Amino acid sequence: MPKILLAEDDRTMISLLTTLLKLEGFEVVALDAHADIPVAVSRERPDAMLMDVHLGGQNGMEIVEALRKDPANAHINIVMTSGLNTREECLQCGANDFILKPFMPDDLLKLLQK
């Protein structure tokens, strides 16, 4: 069962995504917006990540850049989300893909299953 790490600061979104992804057969680990995400990635070893660009006091793009510096994280499919179209910036910092909020569940699932 593929494991997905959710890094999102909207509790409603976490709840909806957790339900959706579990129904689709994923193991889901939801992180608090203030979690130490690189430590969680090392601990959980996810197959994919769904990460908001703006996480409370953290910058998702900086986190992705840090994660990509470690070769152990090269295999992780990182999909970033935002209400603003920051697609180019997210791809430049190392994300595999970007999805603009609000998005359709099917669109998200296609990106995560790549």
Global pTM?
0.94
Is 114 a residue whose pLDDT tops 80?
Answer: no
Average pLDDT, the chain: 94
- For 95-113, what is each residue's pLDDT tens digit? 999 999 999 999 999 998 8
The CATH number of 3-112, from 3.40.50.2300, 3.20.20.70, 3.40.50.300, 3.40.50.1980, is 3.40.50.2300
The Cα 42–Cα 107 span in angstroms is 27
The Cα 111–Cα 30 span in angstroms is 18
pLDDT band at 33 (very low <50, low <70, confident <90, very high): confident
Domain ranges of the chain: 3-112
